[in-house]
A and B are shown apart, each in its own frame.
Chain A
Amino acid sequence: MINVIKNNISELTANIPLYIFLFLIASTAIIVGIEWDISWHETIGRDKLLSPPHVVVYIGGIICGLTCAYMALRQTFVDENLYNRYVVFWGFKAPFACWVCIWGAIAMLTSAPFDDWWHNAYGLDVQIISPPHLVLAAGIFANLMGSLFLLIAEKNLATGKQKYFLELLFMYAASLIVVQSAILLTEFSFHNKQHTYEFFKYSLTIYSFLIVSFRIVGEHKYSATIISILFIVHRCLIIWILPLFKAEPLLGPIYRDIDHYVAPYFPVLIVAPAIAIDLIHNKFQKQNSLIKPIMMGGTFCIIFSLVQWNFAEFLLSEHARNWFFAGDNTFPYWVRVNENNYKFWFLDWTPYGHRTELERVSIYNFGFLIIFTIAFSYLGSFFGSWIKKVKR
């Protein structure tokens, strides 16, 4: 039995270049490093250049950057037919994905001195969305997109079982991009904020864009569903594994008894609308490219809203206060223990202490949510149709 499995794996992975695995390892390291780093900030607080999560992110960036640089130099100066395809970038030759990853590595590199200056100028940021962090996020996205382009080009040029295996790897790479989006949406997606218009607006537009575009690219019948499941499994593993490790706040004031890592928020259940997207895609294969995104967007908006609205109520209930859902373990050390911890929030505070109201979802603005989701589904469909054709 073991030999059969071994042989099957060998057959699947045969002739799949090593650099594909290096790209995926690098992407995974970057994403896990960022998730660990956010938990580190929420649990321990004290930041330094070579903190363990930072090191994991750097290792991912270095693997990706060096792999791409090596490929570009080899193909430019040693053998232009080395990787059976290339594009020319300012005189250098390498697969298209390499240039996207190299751009990502430079963006990540740029964010370091920028973030350092930012901390000195405005104070250590305890928020995720800040200009230097978005430069870093752009770099990470570029790395993840580079890995995705690499796999799309490889699977477009592959045949037989290899193509099937590359399809699986593509879905994994795509799920990492969904994870990265979920990380960026953290501040809008706390369990307590999941009844706000803001949460639905950002979640619906970003997730619908990604799920629809990956659905278009994927050749598996249930690509969108599998990508969503991989995303949820990834986030659940982080939620279950991080709190196994002891950690305590090293900055104060400390308002909570924290002795293990704080978990991220429980992933949104995009698997529900993703199943619908798969069904619509499979059922209306030849549907007009304008009508199909409307169907997909509208369905995505309604199913996601219905499911997540109710699931958010569950996440704030006593039933979610356990290791599985971590409903009681997502609060950083600086959040006071009070009666609002398990209520929905409709106000927020800016980094400088100003109160802002958060809009509630209503029948009126729900119409906008449908329009936005359809618009982004259309954009996702357009984007997916293009990246599906990447062959270089």
Chain B
Amino acid sequence: MDKKGKTLNNTYIYVLFLLLTFLHGDIGHNNVVYEGKAGEIPIRVFVKLPGVVPGLADVSIKVFSDDIHKVTIQPNKKDKDRKSKSPPPDIAEPIKGEKNLFSTQLWLMDYGSYSLDIRLYQGQIVHRASIPVNSTSSRILEMNRGTSILLSALLALLFFGAINIIRIAYKDSTQPPGDHPDRGKITKSYIVTVLSLIILSTIIFGGKNWWDKIDTAYQNNIFQTLENKIEILDNGKEKFMSIEIVDELWKQNRMSDIIPDHGKIMHIYLISDDYESIAHLHPSRTENTDIFIVKMPPVNFGKYYLFMDVTHETGFSHTMTNKIIYNGENVDFRNSIENIERDIDDSWTLNSNENRITWKDKKYSYKSGDNIDLEFQVMRDGQPAVLEPYISMGGHAALLKKDQTVFVHIHPIGTISMASQEMFQENYIQSIVDQEDICFFGFINDSTDNYFNNTSPNGEVSFPAINLENTGEYGLWVQVKSAGEVITQKFDFEITL
């Protein structure tokens, strides 16, 4: 049984693990945070996803109101033919010693996108919010030493116990009480022992092979980034980047089409391998719906990592990854490409020497699992900047571990995909059109309008606190918009044990 440890040490699997795209527009980060409103009540929701299917998600809800007497959560899955029902809601229990903090565990039974329907009961009023989460296999669990030793010891006891039982069964069990087996039977009992040793070893070996097959099937089922092809194109006037989704799942129509997330069909972060320059780009879809194209930003030649966020019609959102070497040689000249206008919200910065955003209480080093507060002060001409929405948000932040195993795109409302949330809300509203007895104060209005409210006139912008498990060096790029200008600033920090 402790063979699992060995299996998991396999280099191939480790490399595979590093390359996997995990969850809800993030890579290597198993949590979902949402900071917004349920109806009129501000809430902060933290979901620790199980990483296996079916699995148990830990959900905690901080309610910024003192008169909420009950909180429930119901997992809803979008069903193509709308024939399925959701289980009854779970009651989130208040945490002892904490004010207005509720938590529960929630089973996510199926693969795909779920909406966690949160209801806050305030007297007769019910406030609701919908938090989209992805349910996928994303985790490879190594057996810990304690469990491994315990199971190995029990297996050894069972193995040698079984051999002894078979020996006794042959030698003694059929003897009348008081009789002793003769010498011939005793001798033969050793042969039986050897035979049982061989048979039981074969069973153990067969069991191990079976386990390995299940393990391989599980690992093959871990959701991986959609395979994509990146090309740099030149029409003689401008350079463009083309992104083609070439994954079999996509080509065979086994994944639903993608939908715009806060107005953009795809959000790309292009980050140089020295982590100095970054571009936030929004390609357009071409007539060939597998291909997306965007005007290249004026970045220097070099190696770049790409992180491409997309949301599907089912509400499932994820990040595709790739890397390119951008130089004069690998540009493909194609006169046929029409000039494409640069998206109004495309932005980039070529150096990290900006100093207009201050990370409040920033430390260089954080402990693994610590809550990292993400509160920022933006200055303009020595004065607090008046912030305006940037792509429907008060701010954007991209967090990248410098070995590319963790990537998180976060907004002031958290890490959720807004497109997914809106899709689920529309789905929900559609489903209750005829059910007048259901009260959903504030729910319908709690749509994109709220995403805009996170701007401030005093230059302050904050994102939900995040905690990171994986140790190493990280880069965080914060982007805000003020007086029509996108201000981008990079911060470095590390996570230690």
Q: Which of B54, B168, B210 contacts A89 (CB 8 A)?
A: B168
Question: Which residue of chain B is the closest to A389 with respect to CB atoms?
Answer: B174
What is the interface residue range for chain B against chain A?
35 or more
Q: Is A360 part of the contact surface with B, judged by Cβ < 8 Å?
A: no
Give Cα distance in the complex from A107 to B86, angstroms: 37
Does A251 interact with chain B (Cβ within 8 Å)? Answer: yes
B378 shortest CB reach to chain A, Å: 43
B214 touches A99 (CB 8 A): no
Determine whether A120 belongs to the interface, using a CB cutoff of 8 Å to chain B: yes
Which of B54, B151, B162, B211 is in CB contact (< 8 Å) with A123? B54
Contact string against B for A residues 333-351, beta-carbon threshold 8 Å, 1 for contact and 0 otherwise: 0101100000000000011
Nearest B residue to A107 via CB reads B158
Q: Mark B111-153, 1 if CB is under 8 A from A, else 0.
A: 1000000000000000000000000010011010001001100
Q: Is the CB of B107 within 8 A of A255?
A: no
B176 contacts the other chain (Cβ, under 8 Å)? yes
Residues from 64 to 106 in B contacting A, C-beta threshold 8 Å: 75-77, 79, 83-88
B175 touches A392 (CB 8 A): yes
Partner-binding segment picked from B20-28, B217-225, B369-377, B469-477: B217-225
**A103 in contact with B161 (CB, 8 Å):** yes
Among the listed B84, B143, B158, which residue makes an inter-chain contact with A255, where contact means beta carbons less than 8 Å apart?
B84
Tell me which residues across on chain A come within 8 A of B210, comparing CB atoms. 131
> Does any Cβ of A come within 8 Å of B169's Cβ?
yes
* Contact with A46, one of B77, B107, B150, B155 (Cβ below 8 angstroms): B107
How far, in angstroms, from A336 to B56 measured CA to CA in the complex? 23
- The answer to whether B158 touches A121, judged by C-beta atoms less than 8 angstroms apart, is no
Chain A 83-123, CB within 8 Å of chain B: the 1/0 string?
01111111000001001100100110110011001011111
Evaluate contact between A124 and B84: CB separation under 8 angstroms. no
Q: A253 near B110 (CB under 8 angstroms)?
A: yes
B469 CB, min distance to chain A CBs, angstroms: 16
User: Contact: B55 with A117, CB < 8 Å?
Assistant: no
For A255, the chain B residues whose CB sits under 8 A away are 83-85
Check A391–B173 contact: CB distance below 8 A.
Answer: yes
| A391 engages B86 (CB within 8 Å) | no
Q: Are B173 and A110 in contact (CB-based, < 8 A)?
A: no
Interface residues on chain A, number (Cβ under 8 Å)? 54
Closest to B160 in A: A90
Q: How far is the CB of B9 from chain A (nearest CB, A)?
A: 15
**For residue A392, which residues in chain B have a CB less than 8 angstroms away from its CB?**
172-175, 177
Give the interface centre of B143, B161, B220 by most chain A CB atoms within 10 Å: B161
Cβ-defined partner of B87 (8 Å) among A89, A113, A149, A249: A249
Residue of A nearest to B55 (CB): A123
Are B151 and A114 touching (Cβ within 8 A)? Answer: yes
Given contacts A253-B109, A391-B174, contact A121 B84 (CB under 8 A): no
Contact A96 to B169, CB < 8 A, known contacts A123-B53, A254-B87, A352-B220: yes
CB-defined interface of B203-241 with A at 8 Å, one 1/0 digit per residue? 000010011001101101100000000000000000000
Q: B residues engaging A (CB < 8 A)?
A: 1, 4, 50, 52-56, 75-77, 79, 83-88, 107, 109-111, 137, 140-141, 143, 147, 150-151, 154-155, 157-158, 161-162, 164-165, 168-169, 172-177, 207, 210-211, 214-215, 217-218, 220-221
Q: Could you show 20 A-B contacts with beta carbons less than 8 Å apart?
A: A84-B177, A96-B169, A117-B143, A117-B147, A117-B151, A121-B52, A121-B218, A123-B53, A124-B56, A124-B109, A131-B210, A252-B76, A252-B86, A253-B86, A336-B83, A337-B83, A351-B217, A354-B217, A392-B172, A392-B173
